[in-house]
Structure formats: C-alpha cells, structure tokens
Amino acid sequence: LARLRQRLAGSDNALSRGLLALLSRDRIDEETWEDFEDTLLTSDLGVGPTTELVEALRSRLRVDGVADSAQARAVLREEMVRLVDPTLDRSLNTQRTDTPAVVLVVGVNGTGKTTTVGKLARVLVAEDKDVLLGAADTFRAAAADQLETWGSRVGVPTVRGAEGADPASVAFEAVRAGIEGEVDVVLIDTAGRLHTKTGLMDELGKVKRVVEKKAPVSEVLLVLDATTGQNGLTQARIFAEVVQVTGIVLTKLDGSAKGGIVVQVQRELGVPVKLIGLGEGVDDLAPFDAEVFVDALLD
Ligand code: GDP
C-alpha cells in the first residue's frame, strides 16, 4: 500500500491531491462541487460515474455549507470503493491442469504488453511456477528480442519464430513446448497493430483458436495504457470485440492522475482490472484491489 501510494502520488496533479484539497475546505459550496467534478473528469472517471459520485456525496453529506472533513472523507472513500467495485473477481487463473495454463497478453503496441509479460513472469516465478514465454509478435524483430531479454532477466525461456513468421504458429509452438516441458504457465505476447480491425480480428482470433488445439486459454489479458484516456477505451472496445478478454492490466499508473479510467473501462467492457503497472522495473506490477487502490488515492 505504501508503495502504491508513493507511486500514485508521484505526480504534481495526482487525483489524490485534488480530492483531498477539496475535502479540506471548510465550506463546500457550489464552486467546490464544480471543482470536484472537474477533478474527477480530469482523472478519466467519465461523465456517468462522475455524476453518480457527486450526487451520492451531495445527498449523503447533505451539505448546508459546512463540511465535516473527516466525515466527507469517509463517505468519499466508501462511494469510490463502490464505484471501483470490490465485488469483482480479480483472481488470475494461472493454475496448471493437465496442460499448462495459457495466458494471452493482448493490446496495442506501446501500451506495455511485453513489459507486463516480463513482470508477470517474475511474479509467477516467485510463486515457484515454471514459466515459458512465447513471442507471437513476429512483425517486429525487436519485440521478440525485448521479450527474450525479459525472459533471461527473470530466468525463463522464450520461444520465438523467425521474423515475419505466422504469429499463430509461434504461439502454437510455445504451447507445444510448454506441454512437452510440463511447465505451469505459458505467457504469450501478441502483436498489437491496429490499423485494420479485420486484420487484427483474424490474427488474434487465429492465435487463440490454434493455441486451443493444444490447451485451453485460461486468461486473455488486455493491456491498457492509463495515460491514453478515451483513445485507450476505444482500443479496448475493439479488442474486446475480437477476443473474449478476461482481465485488464492498466499500465503506467505511476505518476498518472488518470486512475478514474479503472471505473470506465470496467463498466465499458464488463471485465475487471486485475493487475496494474506502476513503473518500468521488474517488480512494478501489482494485483489490483479496489480498497487498497482507493486508500492509496485518498491517503
Ligand atoms: P508493447 O509495445 O505493448 O509491448 O510495450 P512495451 O512493453 O515495449 O512498453 C512500452 C514502454 O512503456 C516501455 O518504455 C516500457 O518501459 C513502458 N512501460 C510499460 N509499463 C509501464 C508502467 O507501468 N509504467 C511506466 N512508467 N512505464 C511503463
């Protein structure tokens, strides 16, 4: 929690500061509410959830000019936790069955897919799991190199194909190797070119279908860059149409004041945020927890 708080607050315009500054005012007038709304919108909470939150607070605080800041803070915390939704199942299915658990990591290039695969491998290795990486982004040689570098950093092997090879065949090969090596988890990094939706649809769909000939896919994680706002949401929608996403990884939350996107993306896709990226380092991936997240924002 302390680390999360430190990372989230690493920005001058952090959401937390805005909210707390408002709550520490001794009078809550119309202008305060407007500022509050602006802060929430700036955090990418979205219009609907922002209105809901403001209305809930207004009615619960029944403000007639004077605010008890401790009470305001407690109510704000409660309402924010409700929006982020503590009831969602955010567990990550990486349990081996007869075959390795297969995790597909998808998302637009630059969002942090490869980095997330590396960090996730690290988490799994720390849980004593045998992990294998598959470099199914075959369009950029550098992508496979980068994944291999992560693999050696965390001590797990990488299966890669020739540049320009069929991504599905590399994914298939990785799962085959994982089955043969009896590993626990195969993490597959995919390509995220978005220029044609049909191209992406064909490619990702094919990767999934081909992998499923060998082993069931246990998670499809969509990586989303928290700093990209509405654009990121549009991308997320497209991916969700293409493959059945089971969880969202929200990256680059460190130093970002855009934490509100958690709520929007969960509502839009009906899929929980399961992991968050808090930096470029190997240990900068954390499981997402609604209460811990809100506390980090408000503390
Ligand atoms: P990919 O193209 O989707 O595979 O993206 P990469 O994994 O190559 O990441 C793109 C850039 O974002 C790299 O410079 C990463 O170091 C950086 N990055 C990834 N995740 C995070 C994060 O959680 N926080 C920050 N600050 N940077 C990140």
Q: What is the pTM of this model?
A: 0.92
Q: Could you tell me the pLDDT band of residue 13, with boundaries at 50, 70 and 90?
A: very low
Q: What is the pLDDT of residue 12?
A: 45
Q: What percent of the chain has pLDDT over 70?
A: 87
Q: How far apart are CA 155 and CA 212, in angstroms?
A: 26
Residue nearest to atom 20 of ligand 1 (CA): 112
Contact, 285 vs 276, CB < 8 A? Answer: yes
**112 marked ligand binding residue:** yes
CA nearest 294: which of 87, 38, 78?
Answer: 78
Protein residue whose Cα sits closest to atom 9 of ligand 1: 112
From the CB of 49, is ligand 1 less than 6 Å away? no
Please give the ipTM for the structure prediction. Answer: 0.99
| Distance in Å, CA 267 to ligand 1 centroid | 24
Residue type, 226: A
| Ligand 1 contacts CB of residue 109 (under 6 A) | yes
Q: What is the pLDDT of residues 130-162, one digit of tens each?
A: 999 999 988 888 999 999 999 999 999 999 988
- Which residue in 22, 16, 12, 13 sits closest to 4, CA to CA? 16
Q: What is the pLDDT of residues 259-296, one digit of tens each?
A: 889 999 999 999 999 999 999 999 999 999 999 988 88
Amino acid at residue number 105: V
113 is in an annotated binding site: yes
User: Is 48 within any annotated ligand binding site?
Assistant: no
Q: Which two tokens stand for residue 124?
A: 């799994």
Give the nearest ligand 1 atom to 118 CA: 7
Residue pair 218/135 in contact by the 8 Å Cβ criterion: no
